[in-house]
Structure 1
């Protein structure tokens, strides 16, 4: 799983079977400090994440299992982050 920030939505009127009624979001992977940490991800979302929110994204087979096994999905939003706590190592 990765931590990310929702930076936008994608609308597609034509989708593969198994993807109808599915909201697609553009997710920017981020570090725990909120800094960019990789390439943009397009993820399916059934929990209602919105622009600017921090989210947890699952990728690969675990993402596909949430939907139909035949759906061409490799990333899904599995949580909206309310808060987290990190203990930074002492220098």
Structure 2
């Protein structure tokens, strides 16, 4: 999975606000969240085309995470995603 791109769909909120949907992102690993182990305090905000969780957000806290590398030159709109994160 090193350096491969994946197409993800997201909910358009938080770090994903204003980004293309679907969005091409870069993955450097095959690590993914096992859905049954995701704590109930988190919502899924993005998934890969094959259904893997690619983004989560805490239901109450200002806490988000993505399972890809927005800083990679291969990630579409990575600078905008990071700018969205910094604006929070």
More strand by proportion, 1 or 2?
1
Specify the structure having the higher radius of gyration (Cα).
1
Verify same fold: TM over 0.5. Answer: no
More helix by proportion, 1 or 2?
2
